[in-house]
Structure 1
Amino acid sequence: MFSRKTTMIDPDKALPGRDTDPFRRAAKHVVLGTPVVAEEVPAGLEVAIFGLGCFWGAEEIYWQREGVWSTSVGYTGGYTPHPSYEEVCTGRTGHTEAVRIVFDPAVVTFADLVKQFFEIHDPTQGMRQGNDVGTQYRSGIYWTTPEQEAVARELTAVYGAELERRGLGTITTELAPAGPYYYAEDAHQQYLAKNPFGYRCHANTGVKFPQTA
């Protein structure tokens, strides 16, 4: 149905997108009861943004984590403003499917979330996760603070060394500062709460994050 594009599109060839968000969404998270579009983050909370394949299953895992206040799914890392799901799936926007997590660092740290990130997908697969192929399924950590950057780089190096020690390949996770994040359409928000028997992609290496001091 959609092209399986595995090479990032040049910015000047990306789809033009839109000036404003054309999509309506429910105000509240159907599981957590908190705002889905959480631009104003409550004091003391932080934001983490990860790309790890199909965003339906990724969001479901993270909304169950203690200390997570809200989650949403969307598109980031690309060029097209306010894209639709269908546009992202063509590979012509440059975006990856992402989960945005608002969390309480007093309960769950960014490092905890990153370690879980590495354990629940395969960060060596490049532009795919399992049978899901395309640039929109690439692995990525998009930090929102300098402290998150330091943690992301350190833990990526640790997990990468463990995978290479086991002969499982090299990490291809994109590490970058968080750029524009565009909320996906309402049908995709908390998709697996609305469709409990829906599709889940949990390709992973089977390797637990190694113990660190």
Structure 2
Amino acid sequence: MFFLSDMLNKKLKLPTSGEALPGRARAIPTASKHYVSRRPLKGPYPEGFEQALVGLGCFWGAERLFWQIPGVWVTAVGYAGGLTPNPTYQETCTGLTGHAEVVLVVYDPAQVSYGELLKIFWEAHDPTQGMRQGNDVGTTYRSAIYTFSDSQQAEAVASRDAYQSALKAAGREKITTEIAAVPQFYFAEDDHQQYLAKNPYGYCGLKGTGVACAIPDKAAV
């Protein structure tokens, strides 16, 4: 019983540099093209397009949510925010890499704004749960927004504050979402890219709070 409790505690706490798995210098192999759109997963991306990087629990369902949005050019799943270089899925699941499961979204800002993507992000999951999403427990499932610019950072913070007000009015808890400058992003293995397109009846743990998010003017384009 102590062993199981100790393992669970480790998964709920980010590892220190001394605890993190060593990883590897070489990137983990992945797909070259998006399974649905057939567009290049790693680019080159069209000139003028922008990127968003978010974590909202298991990345299978989260990626499907974003690839269906008009104006989104391509999506990919991977790992970010941790310490272990080029981690595998199995390694991230131990909680000893420090990474969150995330979705990279490449989009046309003329068709969909960053603020609109943030609204979808907030409403699709429960950002108050800390190191978990529902039954998915561990640091890999934490809520996170990793920003590519100062303007994205400002929009993310403004949207968080607006959503916090809405959640408070609904009697919900404090948001625990991590908002930080984009760290190194590692593409996940081929099996995990567009997983629910390949496995239509596969697991999707997305579940929002039911509270609407009104993006403030500062976060709108």
Q: Which TM-score bucket, shorter chain as reference?
A: over 0.9
Quote the offset at 1:212 in angstroms: 4.2
Q: Which residue of 2 aligns with 1:10?
A: 16
| 1:32 has 2:41 as partner | no
What is the count of residue pairs matched by the alignment?
210
Letter of the 2:107 counterpart: F
Q: Give, in whole Å, the separation in 2 of the partners of 1:6 and 1:209.
A: 27
| 1:64 has 2:68 as partner | yes
CA distances 1:53-111 after superposition (whole Å, capped 9, x unpaired): 00000000000000000000000000000000000000000000000000000100111
What is the correspondence of 1:29-178 to structure 2 with a 5 Å cutoff? Answer: 29-38=34-43, 40-178=44-182
Runs of 4+ aligned structure 1 residues displaced above 6 Å come to none
What is the correspondence of 1:182-201 to structure 2 with a 5 Å cutoff? Answer: 182-201=186-205
User: Which stretch shifts more, 196-205 or 134-143?
Assistant: 196-205
CA distances 1:164-199 after superposition (whole Å, capped 9, x unpaired): 121111000000000100000000000000000000
Unpaired stretches in structure 1, ≥5 consecutive residues: none
Q: Give, in whole Å, the separation in 2 of the partners of 1:103 and 1:211.
A: 18
Provide the aligned C-alpha RMSD in A.
Answer: 1.3
Q: Give, in whole Å, the separation in 1 of the partners of 2:42 and 2:204.
A: 23
Q: Give, in whole Å, the separation in 2 of the partners of 1:70 and 1:9.
A: 32
Letter of the 2:164 counterpart: G
Residue among 183, 208, 212 paired with 2:212: 208
Unpaired stretches in structure 2, ≥5 consecutive residues: none
For residues 89 and 211 of structure 1, do their structure 2 counterparts lie closer, same or farther at Cα, with a shift above 3 Å needed? Answer: closer
Letter of the 2:26 counterpart: T
Q: Which residue of 1 aligns with 2:28?
A: 22
Q: Give, in whole Å, the separation in 1 of the partners of 2:129 and 2:153.
A: 22
Quote the offset at 1:211 in angstroms: 6.2
Structure 1 length-normalised TM: 0.95
- Are 2:26 and 2:86, in contact at CA under 8 Å, matched by a contact in 1? yes
Percent of pairs with identical residues: 50
Task: Report the structure, 1 or 2, having the larger helix content.
Answer: 2
